[in-house]
Amino acid sequence: MSRRQYALPHRDASEPPDDTGCTVLHVDMDAFYAAATLLSHPELVGTPVIIGGGNRGVVLSATYEARRFGVTSAMPMSRARRLCPQAVVLPPDHARYSAISAAVMETFRSVTPVVEPLSLDEAFLDVRGLEHISGTPAEIAATLRREVLETVGLNISVGVARTKFLAKVASG
């Protein structure tokens, strides 16, 4: 069979996605540690920034501008500095990250009581039965993206699916 035979039917972008039976949301804050740090350094938005420290330490996070040079999290700082010497290196602020995460998780809990945090920047939400209160799962996802951006200033990715695994794949 050709690849064409496996193609999904075309959906008009103006049509809402069919999320029937999809009650699991996976939420991931995009480049969380770098984005959260940039909230305190708006002058650095759009430039390569690495969150980490020391020559013997590792990269906690990097902006997308630094990632274009090959910088990744958990990379030795010495290598990251060689790959992107023009990057600004900032130390992590774990207290700030915890506070921002708590505010975002509270936003999630305002939508559903079933929130399963995986880390500071990632969680699963169960939105089963909320259609009459909050809208479809896709509408809830759009609302969460808007609310987190408005209240905290961070972008999030939300995957909507029937299972945790598929929701995590979809959020990517």
**Three-state secondary structure readout of 106-137:** HHHHCCCCCEEEEECCEEEEECCCCHHHHCCH
Sheet containing 115-119, strands listed edge to edge, beginning at the edge strand earlier in sequence: 115-119, 122-126, 24-29, 156-161
Cβ-count burial of 36 within 10 angstroms (0-12 exposed, 13-18 middle, 19+ buried)?
buried
CB contact at 8 A, 156 and 144: yes
Which of 48, 67, 71, 68 lies closest to 59 in space, CA to CA? 71
Pick the catalytic residue: 15, 65, 122, 150?
A: 122
How far apart, in Å, are the Cα atoms of 155 and each of 1, 17, 144?
40, 21, 10
For residue 106, indicate whether it is catalytic. no
* Residues acting as catalytic residues: 122
